[in-house]
């Protein structure tokens, strides 16, 4: 009797990668986005778009192999969806920001400004030595930045894991919020969803909604950020911090 040839069973992650790669190769991206993405290849930021790792309200995030100009092996590529309707609710984070003038009509122009804004905010945060991705390049509705994780595996969101040293993580997060404030920036969307944990260290992500202190709602956004973070650590780990004292710590000296 002939023996049946054994086949190595693929892991769930391998199946996921193959499925997502087939989406990329199968034309899931529109022609204009593909053209804009080409700039990232010609500028040696990426060499291959691999697979999707996240789908948010306004954008899809892919992992890409890095190009010659990037020392790290993998790059996170955030592609904002032009057709999304949720960007209309985000206009308050752009209106009032002294860095941006009047936006031309049309969803693409709004998305383009949002992408440009996230790139600019990441640059400020990096210069302030905040734990966050390093921005590499943006073009239209596409932003390339440092991939926070190990090899091609993104770091998990803080909400998905149990921290070994939650007090230490909270101190780092609040310290980074202070660094941002001292450098004229408020994140404006701080939560357990927008913090990744790599090697026990928190990394803040999603800076599109961040505003400079000249924005009329900057202080209101900061108070909301502090409230959200303190409530999360109290609810999950029983850590109590005074919101008033934390606000003083973040804003003192400014």
Per residue in 91-122, pLDDT (tens digit) is 677 777 777 666 666 777 788 888 999 999 99
Domain boundary, last residue among 129, 150, 171: 150
Task: Let me know if residue 6 belongs to a domain.
Answer: no
Give the per-residue pLDDT at 58: 84
Task: Let me know if residue 176 belongs to a domain.
Answer: yes
pLDDT score of 159 more than 50: yes
Over residues 212-223, the mean pLDDT reads 95
Residue % of the chain over a pLDDT of 70: 83
Give residue 6's pLDDT band: very low, low, confident or very high (50, 70, 90).
Answer: very low
pLDDT score of 237 more than 60: yes
30 among known catalytic residues: no
CATH code (residue 239): 1.10.510.10
Give residue 217's pLDDT band: very low, low, confident or very high (50, 70, 90).
Answer: very high
Give the per-residue pLDDT at 15: 55
Over residues 31-43, the mean pLDDT reads 91
pLDDT score of 230 more than 70: yes
**Shared domain check, 213 and 191:** yes
**Shared domain check, 167 and 52:** no
Task: Let me know if residue 2 belongs to a domain.
Answer: no
Over residues 162-171, the mean pLDDT reads 98
Full residue range of the structural domain in which residue 44 is found: 12-150
Give residue 124's pLDDT band: very low, low, confident or very high (50, 70, 90).
Answer: very high
SS (H, E, C) the chain: CCCCCCCCCCCHHHHHHHHHHHHHHCCCCCHHHHHHHHHHHHCCCEEEEEEEEEECCCEEEEEEEECCCCCCCEEEEEEECCCCCHHHHHHHHCCCCCCCCCCCCCHHHHHHHHHHHHHHHHHHHHHCCCCCCCEEEEECCEEEEECCEECCEECCEHHHCCCCCHHHHHHHHHHHHHHHHHCCEECCCCCCCCEEEECCEEEECCCCCCEECCCCCHHHHHHHHHHHHHHHHHHHHCCCCCHHHHHHHHHCCC
Global pTM value:
0.86
Domain boundary, last residue among 127, 150, 173: 150
pLDDT score of 155 more than 80: yes
CATH code (residue 114): 3.30.200.20
Domain boundary, last residue among 150, 180, 200: 150
Over residues 43-57, the mean pLDDT reads 90
Q: Among 105-114, 164-173, 175-184, 217-226, which is the least confidently predicted range?
A: 105-114
**Shared domain check, 79 and 184:** no
**Shared domain check, 166 and 97:** no
15, 97, 162, 206: the active-site residue:
206
Give the per-residue pLDDT at 113: 86
Task: Let me know if residue 171 belongs to a domain.
Answer: yes
**Shared domain check, 140 and 217:** no
189 among known catalytic residues: yes
């Amino acid at each position: 009797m002939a023996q049946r040839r054994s086949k190595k069973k693929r892991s769930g992650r391998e199946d996921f990668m193959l499925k997502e790669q087939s989406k990329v190769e199968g034309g899931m991206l529109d022609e204009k986005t593909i053209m804009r993405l080409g700039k990232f290849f010609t500028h040696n930021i990426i060499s291959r778009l691999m697979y999707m790792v996240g789908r948010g309200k306004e954008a899809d995030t892919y992992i890409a192999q890095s190009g010659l100009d990037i020392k790290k092996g993998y790059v996170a590529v955030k592609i904002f969806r032009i057709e999304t309707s949720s960007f209309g609710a985000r206009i308050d984070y752009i209106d009032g920001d002294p860095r941006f003038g009047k936006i031309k009509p049309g969803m693409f122009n709004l998305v383009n400004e949002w992408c440009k804004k996230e790139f600019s905010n990441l640059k400020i945060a990096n210069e302030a030595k905040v734990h966050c991705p390093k921005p590499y390049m943006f073009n239209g509705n596409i932003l390339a930045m440092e991939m926070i994780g190990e090899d091609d595996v993104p770091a998990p969101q803080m909400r998905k894991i149990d921290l070994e040293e939650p007090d230490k993580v909270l101190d780092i997060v609040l310290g980074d919020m202070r660094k941002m404030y001292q450098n004229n920036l408020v994140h404006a969307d701080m939560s357990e969803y927008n913090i990744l944990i790599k090697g026990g260290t928190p990394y803040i992500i999603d800076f599109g909604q961040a505003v400079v202190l000249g924005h009329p709602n900057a202080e209101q956004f900061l108070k909301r950020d502090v409230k959200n973070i303190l409530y999360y650590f109290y609810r999950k780990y029983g850590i109590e911090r005074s919101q008033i004292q934390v606000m003083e710590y973040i804003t003192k000296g400014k």
